[in-house]
Amino acid sequence: MQVNEESMQPVLNRLRRAQGQLAAVIAMVESGRECEDVVTQLAAVSKALDRAGFKIVASGMRQCLVDGSENPTMTQEKLEKLFLALA
């Protein structure tokens, strides 16, 4: 399944933001920051990654539906499995 490059730009932006947040969490742990602050930032990273994953799967679903080919590369069962992997 090839996903439209244009629809992946927001995903890449989210992933880059999450990467920066994760680097900040690592620095917070290394510097001995308060547990509450670390967990709050870690939750933000997790949410950003979840949203990126859902966006990728949703884009794939949309593309499969639009293509309408008789032999889709991604079955409904596979897409459901991907969604459940993110849950």
CA distances to 47, 52, 57, 67 from 3, in Å = 22, 13, 9, 11
| Residue burial 3-34, b: 16+ Cβ < 10 Å; e: rest | eeeeeeeebeebbeebeebbebbeebeeeeee
Q: Which residues of the chain have a pLDDT value below 50?
A: 1
Total-model pTM: 0.68
pLDDT at 83: 73
pLDDT at 69: 58
